[in-house]
A and B are shown apart, each in its own frame.
Chain A
Amino acid sequence: AQTVTQSQPEMSVQEAETVTLSCTYDTSESDYYLFWYKQPPSRQMILVIRQEAYKQQNATENRFSVNFQKAAKSFSLKISDSQLGDAAMYFCAYRGNFGNEKLTFGTGTRLTIIP
């Protein structure tokens, strides 16, 4: 079974600064997908960024980028130029390949933006 670990229950960052959220996972699969989702107080789970394990290049989406280290089973999220609207719970999630398509989530990191 796959596991996802987020070791930072809470993080805070000054507005306009950069913050990195950590995520590690455990799997025996070679082909899989990793995601970061954001859940603001409105509770809607919103996709932030995704990474396919077969791609070596790290994914980027505007101010959001990941550092994917497949051998270390690490998948961190970097948020640049933090904005007040980035305040939310951030969940790291793992999806396996065909036949194992459920998402396995970590326990989340609550990100606070300090004005």
Chain B
Amino acid sequence: DAGVTQSPTHLIKTRGQQVTLRCSPKSGHDTVSWYQQALGQGPQFIFQYYEEEERQRGNFPDRFSGHQFPNYSSELNVNALLLGDSALYLCASSLASGTRGQETQYFGPGTRLLVL
């Protein structure tokens, strides 16, 4: 049973550039959530995708956008990178709400983004 996978594992960009991070959910899951984890902090929710639509969004600027594909995989795009965007980006997958006992989010290994 394949778990959540993310690519790439590490990435170095310069200020002003754009980046795309990718996530494949755990087999059987249809919902993908993205989190940003700054060094020494807990993860912060960016947004969640279900049925190819953004269902919920955290307090992040419009520079952060996403997409979900028909196979449930997802991308996180960040435009006009700032130094403060340097962080670990975590993807988590789950089953759609309404299924008792299936609310748990399972995380991928993350993508470490460094903005210089």
Contact = CB atoms under 8 A, between A and B. Distances in A.
Interface of B is mostly: strand
Interface residues of B, number: 27
A34 to B, nearest CB: 11
A43 B42 contact: no
A101 B109 contact: no
A43 B56 contact: no
B42 A108 contact: yes
B42 A105 contact: yes
Contact of A43 (B35, B97, B105, B110): B110
Contact of A102 (B41, B45, B90, B98): B45
B97 A102 contact: no
Nearest to A100: B56
Interface string A19-60: 000000000000001010100001111110010000000000
Nearest to B98: A98
B33 A44 contact: no
A72 to B, nearest CB: 21
B41 A45 contact: no
B109 A44 contact: yes
The 8 A-B residue pairs with the shortest CB-CB distance, nearest first, are A105-B42, A45-B107, A102-B45, A98-B97, A44-B109, A105-B43, A107-B42, A43-B110
17 contacts: A42-B109, A43-B109, A44-B107, A45-B92, A46-B107, A47-B106, A99-B97, A101-B48, A101-B55, A101-B97, A102-B48, A103-B33, A103-B45, A103-B105, A104-B45, A107-B42, A108-B42
Interface of B: 31, 33, 35, 41-45, 48, 55-56, 58, 88, 90, 92, 94, 97-98, 103-110, 112
